[in-house]
Structures are given as structure tokens and as C-alpha cells.
Structure 1
Amino acid sequence: MDLDPVFAAAIAGDADALAKLDMIADGALHNNDKTILHKESEKGNIKHVRFILDKFKHKKLLVKLSTRRSHTALHLAVQGKHTEVVKALIEEARNLPSSTSSSANPPISPFQAFLREVDHDKDTALHAAVYAGHFEIVMLLVKADPDDPHTKNTKGKTPMYIAAKGGYQKMVKKMCETCTAPSLDGPGGSTALHAAIKKLRKGKFKNDVITMLVDAAERSSSSNTSFEAIFNKTHHKTNHTVLELAVERNHVEVVEMILQRDPAYGRGIKKNGLMLLIYKAMDMEFSAIVKLLSKAYQAGIHDGVVTLIIAIKRRDHDEITRLLKDAPLLVNFAENYIEDEGWTPLHYVAYNGLVSIVNAFVEVQRDVKHEFVYPDMVATPFHVAAEYGHTATMIRLLQLC
């Protein structure tokens, strides 16, 4: 049904036309899914939208949802990228009457509730704007409600994650600057940080975007522990933390920033996974990253430990011999971290199958009176050599130990 002539007549002052619009305004008369405000917002007819908002306030059309997809008129205006209509709806929503109670915790205003209304897919208008990649409308929404916590939709995506995933650098930066506490969560344990790091190589993002996302995550956190959690989240498919992803993609500045900003690294208590990352960076010949990870790993322990383990990895006999001569007590070092709990340098010799240096390590361990006894649930160097198929190393360890 073409309502344009009816609107034209009503706007011109025709009482019959106005009465006709009043009868069909909420869609109930003809069992319509949408109200006339939905339909005109979807079409982007700003003149009709303003007329409806002015003449049919008693119908409360602004807050009505479509019956099929639970859309507000704002959702539809955003999806159609109708900027002027979006502006008009936002301004009208500022006049929504205050309510004495709110089910939200903490309580929110009717204006905030309107902007945060979710549709059938749990998308807010902000979700829709980011999906559409419409920068101006995104800015209208975040400036209107900077305290929006950015909830997940049914796919587990927050607006910030969608923006990062889409490579919208300007949008991500402005959202980080404007929003007070946006969630960075994404589906399957991933975050907007994961998505943004992936975009660095393609040139769509610069390193400062990553820093701004970390700043936003810190503002969103009510405690140091919850801020720390952003660095520990892993994608369920790749099992990568943001640090692991940055290492794999050789983003040196990002690796350095994460090591500086993650509170656990700052306290020198988080070393789990670092040695394996050091090995990975060595294999990929990312020397700058090896240096950064090594510095983080050896915080609070003997400076020569990482140097010795790296020398073992590189099969550098001369460096190994020098280190054992200068600091024989290095062989007493035992890891206390998740992936290699209780490992000594001899474990790394066995892991790398470095049979030619086994003698020297065993002799030094005897000289410093190292106990060849390992805690429960900790594999011996022999078991490590067996697990990785280093038969010659297994035989030599049996002979010596």
C-alpha cells in the first residue's frame, strides 16, 4: 500500500488523511509486522519520520518492536544507512519519559535502554552500524551513549570485535577514544585484539590501534585481574593468545607492548609458554622477538639460563662449554611453569637430542652435587628423549645416569 499520497495530504493539513494514518500507525489494523515509523525509517524518508514523531507521540511508536525480527525503527534506519533519520530518532529518544525503576544493573535511563535495545539476533543499533561500516552513524551512536558496555550478539560478537574484524581502523580508534568501557570480546574466545593483530600484516591497521584497544580493555576492567584476562584469552580453533599471535606474525612492537602491559609479565610471574615461544621465534628467525621474549623469561632468574637454553637449541657447543665453565650452577635451574614444570637444562639437551653434550652436562651436575631425582609427575630427561625419539641420547643418558 502506497502511503505517500496519504502522508502528503496529512502533512498539508487534511484531517481525514491524518485520521487514516492514525488508524494504521501501529500496524495492528492490517496485521502488519511493522509500524509506519518502522516503514518510513527503513525507506529513509526523513520528512515522513519527523511528521510521525510529531503527530503520533501517543502511539509510542519509537519504542515499538517489529513482530518478526524485534527491530526498532532505529535498527532499520541504521541498516539502511539513513543518517538523517538516525539523528532524528536519537534526538526524539532523548525525550522518552523517565521510569522509576530499571531492571539493568546498574540502572540505565530510558534513552540508554532505547539505544541498547536488541533485535532477534541480539544486535543493537550499534552492531548494525558497525556491520554496515558506516562511520558517521557509528559515531552518532557511541557519542549518544558512550557508556554502552558493548554486549555480544548471538554470534558472540561485540561492536568493537566486528569493527576490528572488518579492518575499520578509523572506526576502532574513535570507538576506543569515545567509549568508556567497551567489551573487546569475540566468538570462541577470540577478542578484538586478536582480530586487529591479524589486520596488521595486511596494512589495514597500524600498531597504535593495538595500543588503543589495550587502553580500552584496561578502562573496561574493574580490577587488575580482569584486565589481565584479556591477554590470556585464546581462540578455540588456533588456541592462540594475543602474544602468541603477535609472535607468529613477527609484530615486534606489539610483542614488546604486550610484555610491558600484561600485569603478570610486569610482576615477573608469568613465564608459562614463553620458552616454547622463544623456540618458535628462533625457528622462524625472528631475532628481535627472541630477544624480547628472552628478557621477559629471565626476569627474576639467573641471566645465563635463557642464554644456555638457546645455545642448546642452536647446538652451539662452544657457547654451551663456556657457560658451563663460567657458571656451572646454571645446571641446577628448574622450571616452575606450566608447560615444562621441573625441567632443567639437561631436559632441554634431551628435548633437542644433543647427545654430544650429554657427558658435559652430567659431569657438571655431579660436580655441583645436583640431585638426579625429579618431583612426581615431572618427566626425567630420559623420558623426554624417549618422547621425542632421540634414541642415541636415551642410550647415553642410561649409560651415565
Structure 2
Amino acid sequence: MRENRNSIFIKLFYFFYYIGWALVFSFIPVYLKGIGFSIGEIGTFSAISALIGALIQTPMGNLSDRAGKRKSFIVLGLLINSAIFLFLFPGLTNYRDFLIVYSSIGLCTYTVLTLSSVLVLDLSLSGEIGRDYASSRMWGSAGFLTCTLFTGFFPSLTQGNTIFLITGIAFLISAVFIASVKEPEIKTSVLTPSMISIKRLMNNRQLLSLLVFYFLYYTTLTGASNYVNLLVKALGGSNSMVSFAYAMSSGIEIPFMFIMGSLSDKIGRRPLLVLASLVLPVRMLLYFLATNPLHIIGIQTMHSVTFAVMVVVPMAYVNDIVSPLERGTAQGMFNMTTGFASAFAPFLAGYVADAVGISRMYIFLMLLAIISTVGIIGFLEESKKERVTLGSKNHTINKVLGIFSDPFYRRIK
């Protein structure tokens, strides 16, 4: 009985949390643009939030270990963010005040995301939940999709202070559900990585190649996704169009996360990483060429490859190439790379958009994506030893498939 209740509470937490997050991600930038901030300034706010998050993940995990509690930190983070959006955010107009508030939002948001993931693992280890993190996290995507569809059909929900009211209430409801979870006695340890482990892992060429590629790739993807809302508005689209654009991407990512994860177990990690890296520059080019908001909704279907692959495959790649004793440290390095890319992307892309226009910004991101593509095709090795080998009796097809199977430097030796 307790197992079922905990499972339900965790899923409802994710569902309502991502309803609030969908509004923050999709419409707060539109709101900020409407009150006079430039795209670069909006990007700086997001960058500060993500940078604080990148720096806080491991220390906050270690602090929760010492306290022996997860829920208290998660609930506190949710309540603070709820209060910010309900009472503080609507009255802000000053650039400096927004920087301070976004720093607080980043601290709370990444505390919630980090420790809720660890709580799910705690429950799994103690036998409270039989399903893995992905099956719980899927309810977050469902909440995001529900919110974007609802605001698409009822765009008045994104006008005025209504957006802050819904966001604050959604975070408050998610706090109630996470507070209802019974924490297990046995907990996963979130250890602070030692410098010795980090130095040893930095000598792992496969891991280093992945992190460099992933940083460039995720910077491109995050920079693009952060400003889809403003691109839709620049092309004359309504808030409903913004909602439907994000609904398309979040809806299609749900099944493809599982498809890509399963496929990578069979054919290996590298083929899917190469595929995603080839598709990403094309996606950036199509954003640049778009002349109608409806085009953006169609382009968002490419999220099925460019995002779904990156949710599951890089983490599996990391687990393949490091020892079990160093997986925690390696995943911590990977998560910090994600955080730093999330901080760098909106800042860089925002000021490029201010300089050349939001459509031309996507040409810049396309060039960045091409660099990451060259890196993975040229240098990234396959990590999974047991896999179905890609091959054909046709020599020409084999040469093409070789791009997916082996790095270029190995094939020219």
C-alpha cells in the first residue's frame, strides 16, 4: 500500500511541478520582452539561474546526506519558488532585482530537481518503487505537455498576472505531494567527488571527448529551445502558437526517450549520438528559414531525435566507460557540464540575437552545431562492447554506415 502511495505521490509531484515549469520556460521570457528587456538581458537572467544550479547540485546533495533528509530541502525550494512567483515576480521592473531573484530561483530549482531525482533512487533501493527514474520523470513531460496544450486553447491564461498565479499554485501543489512521500530509512549516498577521482577521469579520453562534444551540442540545443517562444512571436505568432510549438516538442519526446534508449542498447551509443549531431544543424537551419509560426511547430518534431537521444544516451555512454566505483563522480561531471552549457547558451545566444536578429542567431547556432558534429564523427569512440554491428553487403552503404560506427581518425589510420 505504501509502495503504491509513494509512487502516485512522486508522479503527481512531477506532473504539477512541470506544469509550473512549462509556464516559466515558455512564457516568462515573453513577459520580460514585453516589459522592455532585450533578448541578451533575458538570456543573462537564465544564465545566472543555470550557473547557480550547476554549482549547487553536488554541495546540496552532500548537505542532504549529512542531514539525512531529502523532502525538507525539496519542499523548502518549492515553497520559496512559489512565493517568488506569487508575490515578488509580478512587481519587479529593475534589472538588478531580476538578477537577484533569478539567482534564488536557480538555487531552489536545481535543489528540487537534484534531490527529487535522488529521492526516487532512495525509494527504488529500499523497494518502495519498482520502476526506474524514467517512468517517474515521464509524468513531468506529461505535465509540461498538458500545460502547453491547455494554454494553447486558452491563451488568456498566459496574460497579465494569471501566469504567476498558476505557476505559484502549481509549485505549491507539487510541494504538498512531495511532502506526502514517506522517506525510506536506507538512502543513496551523494558523495562530493574527490579531486583524485576527477583528475583520473579527466585522463579518460572517451569521457573527455564526450563532455566536449556534449557541451557544444547542448549549448546549441538549449540556446535554440530557449528562444523558440520569441522566434514565434517575431514571426507574428500568438501565445497560442508558442504553446503549440512547445506542446509538439514535449509530446513527441515522451515515446522517443524510450525508443532511443532501447535502440542504443542494441546498436550502441555512438550511432544515435552521430545521428542526433547530424540532425541538429539541419534543425537550426530550418529555424532560420522559417517565415511562418506554423513552420516552427513542424520543426519542433525534430525534438524526437535532437533531444530524446540526449536525455538517455550520453548518461548510458558514461556508465559504459567508467568503473562502477567512479560512476557517481563521472555522472556528477556530466551533470555539471549540462549546467554550465545551460548557463552559457542563453547568455551567448541572447546577445547574438541582439546583434544580428533572432532569425540570424540560428545560423550562428548552426555553425556551433557543425563544430560538435565534426568532433563526434572525428573522435568519439563507441562505448558499448556488446551490440548489433551496422553493416551491409553493399560497399557504398558500408562507407556511409562507417560514419556511425567508427571515428574518422581510426578509419584513416
Question: TM-score if structure 2 supplies the norm length?
Answer: 0.22
The two structures have a TM-score, normalised by structure 1, of 0.23
**Greater helix share, structure number:** 2
Q: Looking at CA atoms only, which structure, 1 or 2, has the larger radius of gyration?
A: 1
